[in-house]
Amino acid sequence: MLVYRITLTKYANQLVASGRAARWNPNDVEMIYTASSRSLACLENVVHRDKLGLSMVFSILTIECPSSLKIKTISLKDLSVNWIDYDQMTITQRIGEKWVKDNESAILQVPSSIVSEEVNYLINPKHTDFKLIKIVKAQPFVFDSRIKL
């Protein structure tokens, strides 16, 4: 399975997690966010950056996750109707934190909060199978100037 990640080019040669809080992890719980498509990776970045932030130097990573790896799945039916609301983020963070601590799998499939019928893949860099996940390509990525005019 191929997944995609847009990152600042200075980080494009390695898979690293910042440990900063996001939708599926609280502070100090490391996970690497990837998307099921390039376009979803773009949207996931656009919603978190302003126009100036989108003008930085980025790369898009194509990442290979071997099909033999176990994937835990969180589906929409596992979540409350309003799971995308900001005040619900502590619930999704607890789900992600539990997944990392339980160490069940190296990959967690979750619905996108932007396009709920599409999915993102979270990668646990502390799982023993993480070493099997590889960057296969890094390419320059420029956000279209018409985004966030």
Please write the tens of the pLDDT for every residue from 100-133.
999 999 999 999 999 989 999 999 999 999 999 9
* 41-69: pLDDT as tens digits: 999 999 988 777 778 899 999 999 999 99
Q: 4 vs 17, which has greater pLDDT?
A: 4
- Whole-angstrom distance, CA of residue 63 vs CA of residue 3: 5
| Residue 148 predicted with pLDDT over 80 | no
What spatial distance separates the first Cα and last Cα of the chain, rounded to whole Å?
34
Residue 146 lies in a domain: no
Domain hosting residue 57, numbered range: 2-141
Residue 80 belongs to some domain of the structure: yes
71 falls within a domain: yes
Local structure of residue 49 (DSSP, 8 states):
-
Specify whether the CB–CB gap between 83 and 91 falls below 8 A: yes
pTM: 0.94
Q: Is residue 147 part of a domain?
A: no
